Amino acid sequence: NAGVMQNPRHLVRRRGQEARLRCSPMKGHSHVYWYRQLPEEGLKFMVYLQKENIIDESGMPKERFSAEFPKEGPSILRIQQVVRGDSAAYFCASSPPGQGNIQYFGAGTRLSVL
């Protein structure tokens, strides 16, 4: 049973470009969470999704950031018009139905904005 898969592992973008981060949850998991980790900071919650639904996006910046978890395929975190302050490690986690508080994490995508 493969773990949570994130790709790419490293992503370099220039200011103003778009970044797309992908997350495939563990098999049988229908809940996906995205977290951001800035240098010297703890993981910060961004968004919680179930298939085709955004459940809680209270941690998402109001502009330029969006997330989806379609019926088929991975969850996508999309950052439009990236700025240097978006440089961080973005982690995805998943959990099975009914066990939301045990979240299993992927290895993260490290985004660098030049």
- Token pair in block for residue 18: 């778009």
Please report the DSSP string for 35-81 in residue order: EEE-TTS-EEEEEEEETTEEEE-TTS-SSSEEEE--SSS-EEEEE-S
* 97 belongs to the binding site for another protein (CB under 8 A): no
**Token pair 């395929």 in the structure block, residue:** 73
Say which DSSP state 2 is in. -
Query: Which of the residues 8 through 37 are near another protein (CB under 8 A)?
Result: 31, 33, 35
Site string for another protein, 74-93 (x = CB under 8 A): -----------------x--
* 48 belongs to the binding site for another protein (CB under 8 A): yes
Residues forming contacts to another protein in the complex (CB under 8 A) are 3-4, 31, 33, 35, 40-45, 48, 55-56, 58-59, 91, 95, 100-108
